[in-house]
Amino acid sequence: MKIAVCIKRVPDSETRVKISSDGKSLDEAGVKFVLNPYDEFAVEEALRRKEKAGSGEVVVYSLGPAAAQETIRTALAMGADRGVLLQVDKIPADPYETAKLIAAALKPETWNLIFFGRMAIDDYHHQVGPEVAQLLDLPCVTAVSHLDIEGTKGVAEREIEGGIEVLEFPLPAVVTVDKGLNEPRYPALKGIMAAKKKPLEVKPVEPGAGSLEIVALTPPPERKEGKIVGEGAAAVGELVRLLREEAKVL
Amino acid sequence: MKTLAVLEQRDGKLRKVSFEIVTAARRLGDSVDPVVCDTTDREGCAAALAEKAKAGGYNAVVFAATATGRDLAPRVAAKLGVGVASDLTDLAAESDAIVATRPVYAGKALQKVRVTARPAVLSLRPNIFTPETQAAGVKPETLAVTSSGRVKVREIKPAPAGTLDVAEAQVIISGGRGLKEPANFKVLEELAQAFGGRAAVGASRAVVDAGWRAHADQVGQTGKTVSPSLYIAVGISGAIQHLAGMRTSKVIVAINKDKDAPIFKVADYGVVGDLFEIVPKLTEEIRKLHG
């Protein structure tokens, strides 16, 4: 079972967002970066698939700055076999440019499965996985919360509004994963030590200009100051009155 | 500007989000062609949509950022050789581009983007754009899907009857650790019922991780992003990851015993105290209004 996992280095969600002086990007000073949480599920799933198959290789790909090597090492410490960093100065604003570079890197090899997290928690794009699938002409299932693989056939479940969709698809395929698929392992000390010696190839790449430009990054509008209506059940009457007469939502 | 609006239906009826899409698409110009794909075959549907977008000379193709739209939009975009400006909460047409707003970094910042792709592929966050009344009369063309995809839908397991998806509900009552144990969610379910089919029960990450509630009900960064008219947070402290999923709600009510809980900072109305006294009283009052 040969599996690729595509991961992203993202700011930790606890990060205090400070906008940099260009008015368009995050000021990265003091920001802690982590492996995108959805990609942790992807790495875990890839490792489990390889373990179940009894043999194979899990290769981690990331497009990002030089510092994304650390993110790849995290995945290697979890148990992935080797990593490839598609190194850029800046992650392209247009996710399709990212998808093209990742697809080009994956294309020369033959994969049974290619995993992605369903989205990155920094830019919320939800799209690089299915775009890579399209570029490689592979079947794709997105936001998968349950997965069974038997031979060259997969069965996946995904949440849709009002239910769960059960899908069948042939391998090779691109699968983007949702929370709930598995419980990602913590890298053990042994894994962390081993990861330092695992191969990590750095390939500089040049993204195209794309057709999506970031014009500005601004703080969200402040919600207007709220009020404490009161304490305990005695405040409910006033709360209902405010919801009816002031907020007009009842 | 000529826009293709990709609508969603269920059981032969257009979903509310479809009217939002039509309304928002009109901001780009009067020429809006609504379509629906009458199939669950998303590869086939994506091929048909890309074909239609090219043949019709559209400037923009607009999707809803729903489970379906998020799956479909990038496939169509890649076929057209462009990316998706996804999860938009605002959009407008300029002479040579579309300018749009998207929340990023867990809703802690707004990114303003300029989309120069032709056609531009856009996905819009549900429950943000208020549907105009004229959108109600929309008659979408049903797209003929000719090619068949490699991914087959084996089955759709519907959610239990009578339950509303948090992503679609106009009122959400969410519970957190303050509920103390899973069985106590009954008090929130009773309050939801008092709203008569308009409300859903949501959950914080803590209680989903503890196995008290299904992941489908989780509101927040690793759950669903919701924007109901009324969000009632019960026994939820208000971690940043939770706020990421609900801060665009129109009205937020917080009920919590800790007056210093961060949830009160985003709430429009707060009640401090024992939720097991407050919520049943609220249920009673809502029943009176609807009864």
- Preceding amide of A139 cis, omega within 30: no
CB contact under 8 A, B83 and A97: yes
Looking at residue B276, its pLDDT comes to: 98
Any B CB within 8 A of A41 CB: no
Whether pLDDT at B148 is above 90: no
Looking at residue B129, its pLDDT comes to: 93
Helix axes A95-106, B67-80, angle to 10 degrees: 70
What's the mean pLDDT in A203-224? 94
Whether pLDDT at B291 is above 80: no
CB contact under 8 A, A211 and B117: yes
For chains A and B, count residue pairs whose Cβ atoms are closer than 8 Å.
265
- pLDDT tens digits along B87-129: 999 999 998 899 999 999 988 999 999 999 999 999 999 989 9
- pLDDT tens digits along A50-108: 999 999 999 999 999 999 999 999 999 999 999 999 999 999 999 999 999 999 999 99
Q: Where residue B168 falls among pLDDT bands split at 50, 70, 90?
A: confident
Contact in structure between B198 and B170 (CB atoms under 8 Å): yes
CB contact under 8 A, A11 and B105: yes
What's the mean pLDDT in B214-240? 94
CB neighbours (10 Å) of residue B203?
A: 28
The pTM (predicted TM-score) of the whole model is: 0.94
Alpha carbon B239 to its chain's center: 20
Any B CB within 8 A of A226 CB: yes
Shortest CA gap B87–chain A (Å): 7
Looking at residue B135, its pLDDT comes to: 82
CB contact under 8 A, B83 and A96: yes
Per-residue H/E/C for A142-182: EEEEEEEEECCEEEEEEEECCEEEEEEEECCEEEEECCCCC
B171-290 in CATH: which number? 3.40.50.1220
Q: Where residue A161 falls among pLDDT bands split at 50, 70, 90?
A: confident
> Of A168, A233, A250, which has the smallest distance from its Cβ to B281's Cβ?
A233
Token pair belonging to A10: 């993202």
**Cα A131-A136-A137 angle, rounded to 5 deg:** 90
Q: Where residue B159 falls among pLDDT bands split at 50, 70, 90?
A: confident
CB contact under 8 A, A96 and B71: no
What is the layout of strands, in order, in the sheet containing A227-231? A227-231, B269-272, B251-256, B230-234, B171-175, B199-203
What's the mean pLDDT in B276-280? 98
Looking at residue B162, its pLDDT comes to: 74
Looking at residue B153, its pLDDT comes to: 94
Q: Which residues lie across from A11 on neighbouring strands?
A: A33
> Of B110, B115, B221, which has the smallest distance from its Cβ to A211's Cβ?
B115
Whether pLDDT at B191 is above 90: yes
In a mutational test of the B interface, the residue from A39, A97, A127, A158 whose CB has the highest number of chain B CBs within 10 Å is: A127
ipTM of the modeled complex: 0.95
Domain(s) of CATH 3.40.50.620: residues in chain B: 2-143
Q: Give the integer Cα–Cα distance in Å for B164 and B166.
A: 6
CB contact under 8 A, B270 and A229: yes
CB contact under 8 A, A95 and B83: yes
Whether pLDDT at B210 is above 80: yes
Q: Give the integer Cα–Cα distance in Å for A5 and B45.
A: 27
For residue A159, give Cα distances in angstroms to A74, A163, A184, A192, B70: 29, 6, 20, 34, 12
Q: Which residue of B has its CA nearest to A119?
A: B222
Which domains can be identified in chain A, with CATH numbers? Answer: 2-204 (3.40.50.620), 223-250 (no CATH)
Q: Where residue B154 falls among pLDDT bands split at 50, 70, 90?
A: very high
Domain(s) of CATH 3.40.50.1220: residues in chain B: 171-290
CB neighbours (10 Å) of residue A26?
A: 18
What's the mean pLDDT in B135-162? 90
Compute the mean pLDDT over every residue in chain A, rounded to the nearest whole number: 96
DSSP B75-127: HHHHHHT--EEEEESEEEE-SS-EEEEEEETTTTEEEEEEE--SSEEEEE-TT
Contact in structure between B42 and B75 (CB atoms under 8 Å): yes
- pLDDT tens digits along A14-63: 888 999 999 999 999 999 999 999 999 999 999 999 999 999 999 999 99
Q: Which residue of A has its CA nearest to B72?
A: A130
- pLDDT tens digits along B32-48: 999 999 888 999 999 99
Shortest CA gap B41–chain A (Å): 10
Whether pLDDT at B50 is above 90: yes
Q: What are phi and psi of A105, to 5 degrees?
A: -70, -35
CA neighbor of A213 nearest in space, from B83, B148, B106: B83
For residue A249, give Cα distances in angstroms to A218, A243, B231, B251: 29, 6, 10, 8
CB contact under 8 A, B289 and A250: yes
Q: Give the integer Cα–Cα distance in Å for B140 and B9.
A: 10
Compute the mean pLDDT over every residue in chain B, rounded to the nearest whole number: 94
Helix axes A128-136, B67-80, angle to 10 degrees: 40
CB contact under 8 A, B286 and A240: yes
Give the A window 62-121 contacts with B, CB below 8 Å. 93-97, 99, 121
> Of A19, A124, A165, which has the smallest distance from its Cβ to B156's Cβ?
A165
Contact in structure between B246 and B224 (CB atoms under 8 Å): no
Q: Which residue of A has its CA nearest to B89?
A: A220
In a mutational test of the B interface, the residue from A12, A15, A31, A211 whose CB has the highest number of chain B CBs within 10 Å is: A211
Whether pLDDT at A178 is above 80: yes
B2-143 in CATH: which number? 3.40.50.620
Q: Where residue A224 falls among pLDDT bands split at 50, 70, 90?
A: confident
Give the A window 169-208 contacts with B, CB below 8 Å. 169-170, 178-180
Any B CB within 8 A of A213 CB: yes
